[in-house]
Structure 1
Amino acid sequence: MDPVTIATIVLTILATKATEKVGEKIGEGALAEGKKLLGLLQRKSPETVKRLEAATDPNVIDAEVVEEVRRVSVQEPEVKAAVDATAMAVQQQPGGIVNFGKMNIANTGFVQTQNNTFI
């Protein structure tokens, strides 16, 4: 899974206040980095944060939001660094990526098949 998708998952968990359910699974480091990224996005792209907060199910990540985070990270080097730091923190957490295997990527437009193999 690419860093932007991982970071968007953490952002969605934080924005929808679902940390009580999954906080221990993704680790304190990932949550801390995700909070930094969320604050940065609030300043750089408030519409993105509104879309993250509007998620009705933190287990389903909208592919359009992933692309929006990707777009902002390309335009803003500071956001890119925060995305990478968040993804790195998740990947350093034992079992972190395995737990994300239960997350779904939803796409409301053009649908592509996404196969994620987790070990």
Structure 2
Amino acid sequence: MDPITLATIALTLLATKATEKVGEKLGEGAIASAQQLMKLLQRRSPDTVKRLAAASDPNVIDVEIIEEVKRVAAADPEVQAAVNATAAAARADEIALQHLTKLAEKIGVVNLGTVQSQTNNISI
């Protein structure tokens, strides 16, 4: 799944407060990254944030919202970096990735690539 779609799904879950415990669907890292991206979008494109929050069903994401986030990210390198960070954080959490992938399939986005998960164990 491309970073824009993954980040937009995370943003929509966060913006619509899809559940009282967003952590049930997103890991802490994904939540923190999505919050940073949301703050950045609020400054750079407030209308985009309004559209994300107005989503009637967080399980069905409007393709136009994805395109809008893509357009804003293409125009602003800082937003693009935040999108990539949010996508990377979501990918790092397997449960969140599975949930977000299911949501993406609902909107017709198919994951054609392979997803690799890296686990680092550090012993001190």
TM-score (norm 1): 0.85
> Which runs of 4 or more aligned residues in structure 1 lie more than 6 Å from their structure 2 counterparts after TM superposition?
none
User: For the pair shown, which has the larger CA radius of gyration, 1 or 2?
Assistant: 2
- In structure 1, runs of 5+ residues without a counterpart are 106-112
Alignment of 1:74-113 (within 5 A): 74-103=74-103, 104-105=106-107
Paired residues of 2:10 and 2:100 also in contact (CA < 8 A): no
Identity over the aligned pairs, expressed in percent? 58
Partner residue in 1 for 2:48: 48
**What is the Cα-based RMSD across aligned positions, in Å?**
1.8
Q: Go from structure 1 to structure 2 and tell me whether the alpha carbon gap of 1:11 and 1:87 turns closer, same or farther (over 3 Å shift).
A: same
Higher strand proportion, which one?
1
**Distance in 1 separating the partners of 2:36 and 2:19:** 15
- In structure 2, runs of 5+ residues without a counterpart are 116-124
Count of paired positions: 112
In the TM superposition, what whole-angstrom CA distance separates every residue of 1:16-61 from its partner, at most 9, and x where no partner exists?
0124354233200000000000000000000100110110111011
